[in-house]
Amino acid sequence: MFLLSWLQAPLLLHGPCFSPAQRFHRARLVCRSNLAGKELTACIVKIIDSNKVPFASAGSDPSGTWFRLLRFSNTLQFLSILTLSIDESECNESQRAASLVIESSSAAFLPAWVPLGFLFQWLLFWLPFPDFGHNLTLAMGLSNALVIAHATGGFAVGSSRLKLEAPQVLEGGYGSSLARVPLVAALAAVVSPQSRFFLVFIAMPGAILATMCARSGIVKFG
């Protein structure tokens, strides 16, 4: 199953970005750093190459302006796509520090291992599935992981230690406020929000429908 998830991952990366449902399951953070643009880019490259963050590399722009990482959920292997980009728009002669923009979005409403899941992603692009703050949690976790990885990675002596200010949250994903409810938080510790959506709204109704059809006699076996 995990092998199938990896095989289908490239086809899930380029989903229907025009979908109005995209805003329900994505998050965007802007973290001001203490490094200039080229220094921040070099820092991100070192961290990703060292494999010290729990996200898989999925390529980068040759100019080093953005990096793409992948993360599969622990339960049903839902795929989330995280993009890192360097923003120097607010830099000036006195303040050369660049910002790190982290965007996280869910690839599809089905687990990555579902055969031909990328096809259903395109056919059902209009389906607005909430992420209950899952992508916001991933984006926050990545920003923390970058700082910890740089501090403990044993990188070149004399390089400035990466520092990221408290992020400005521009998007948090639909239902992110529910993540602060104790019961929801307790469930999230066991099953990821995307997995709960799949189990409650897709798998369970599908199982009930299949059971009803089997008992009704519409479908006969043997």
Structural Rg of the chain based on CA atoms: 20
Per-residue pLDDT of 142-191, as tens digits, reads 988 888 887 776 655 455 778 888 878 776 665 555 555 666 556 555 55
Per-residue pLDDT of 38-52, as tens digits, reads 888 888 888 888 888
- Return the pLDDT at 182: 67
Closest Cα partner for 169 from 136, 131, 141, 144? 136
Q: How confident is the model at residue 84 (pLDDT cuts 50, 70, 90)?
A: very high
Identity (one letter) of the amino acid at 198?
Answer: F
Query: Starting from the edge strand earliest in sequence, which strands make up the sheet with 79-87, in order?
Result: 56-60, 66-72, 79-87, 99-106, 26-32, 168-171
- Return the pLDDT at 44: 86
Between 109 and 21, the higher pLDDT residue: 109
CB neighbours of 34 closer than 8 A, spacing ≥ 6? Answer: 97, 160, 162, 163
- Return the pLDDT at 156: 53
Q: Tokens in use for 32?
A: 């001001």
Mean per-residue pLDDT for 16-31? 73
Give CA–CA dist 174/189, Å, rounded. Answer: 19
Q: How many C-beta atoms surround the C-beta of residue 100 within 10 A?
A: 25
Domains parsed from the chain with CATH numbers: 2-216 (3.30.310.80)
